[in-house]
Amino acid sequence: MKRLFEKTAVNGMTLENRSVRSATWEGMCDKDGRPTEKLASCYRGLAEGKAGLIITGYAFVRPDGKQMPGTLGIHADDFAAGMRALTQAVHEEGGKICIQLVHTGGQTTTKAAGRPPLAPSAVKAEQFFEVPQEMTRKEIDEIVTAFGDSARRARQYGFDAVQLHAAHGYLINQFLSPLTNRRTDEYGGTVENRCRFLVEVYRRVRIEAGPDFPVLIKLNGSDNLDGGLGLNDAIYAARLMDSEKIDAIEVSGGTPASGEEAPIRKKIDSSEKEGYNLPLAREIKKAVLCPVMAVGGFRSPEVINKALAEDGIDYISMSRPFIREPRLIERWQKGDTTPATCISCNGCFRPGIRGEGIYCVVDKKERQN
């Protein structure tokens, strides 16, 4: 029976427990995406707090794939010193760190990307700020290469794994979704064709990273959106990745256009509201052999251990609870198993927008009173 506090391994990467700090935009990098000492300190704190695996905030593989201010970039070789400081900070505390690779595609803006956004198709979508430009075959090939180059850098910089962001409406998800992919060539139409870009990205990443380096994927089990990626197609994509020897699948759901079923939901104030992507994760777990991670509103050890022991999930990912309590896992491990104190207000992201980096505004206010 799987439990939270047991040691496991993912393609040679040993993890001390089954907790994962899911990718979280921190807003702690320079304008060009260069990591800072503040970000290294953030990751060090998570490792000190015994998070089993730390997944970085989404790191853009090309400048035109950047979305938010202060976002990490892994597109440049001259970031090596800062990147090695990040990985060293985690390793000094006995932790493991995975960098999440992304191109945000049509979900960015001309201002943020420095050019009109690129997407599978030039369609108007609710989650797009502007109508993007349809990608040419040359641009597809160039972005596939950028993902591979970023994976190579990640290994050189000392990261323990990479994760492909194929969820939440970003570029890979845009190819998977019939809503944003209206192409009539080999990249559009059937689910097989809509998975082609994902497969090409994964294969290039695997070549550059090597067979012995963990490659993970964050995949929507559903976009929770009329006309978007649904569970059946998500299962197809998961099986395809499993056959390609992906090392783990983190199951999420929703896009910015998904309303109350968006990726980051508020008012997770009871155990019944926890694990809101578990139904999707369970179905994907039934379809694959590789480890499956579930993310979405986990707050209490009871719900987490039930998901592990009864639902067959292999790892539990959390984001906002770690913003308020970087040492949450250590607290639980020492015997204080009260739920995470995060109230799911999303106030933690406002300081990041202001350039301060994310932090729990509720906790800060309580400490000042």
Catalytic annotation, residues: 170
Dihedral of the alpha carbons of 237, 189, 148, 85, in degrees to the nearest 10: -60
How far apart CA 221 and CA 282 sit, in angstroms, is 10
Number of neighbours of residue 78 by Cβ within 10 angstroms: 8
DSSP letters, 208-249, are: HH-TTS-EEEEEES---STTS--HHHHHHHHHHHHHTT-SEE
The sign of the CA dihedral 236, 308, 280, 167 is negative
Closest CA to 278 of 319, 245, 336, 317: 317
Dihedral of the alpha carbons of 26, 31, 32, 34, in degrees to the nearest 10: -50
Structure tokens at 62: 């090309």
Q: Are 214 and 247 in contact (CB under 8 A)?
A: yes
Q: How far is CA 14 from the centre of its chain?
A: 20
Report strand pairing: 59-60 vs 97-102: parallel
Structure tokens at 172: 């890979």
Write the single-letter amino acid at 253. G
Closest CA to 225 of 233, 217, 213: 233
How far apart CA 152 and CA 115 sit, in angstroms, is 26
Q: Are 179 and 227 in contact (CB under 8 A)?
A: yes
Please, what is the angle between helix 196-209 and helix 231-243, to 10°? 30
How far apart CA 352 and CA 158 sit, in angstroms, is 26
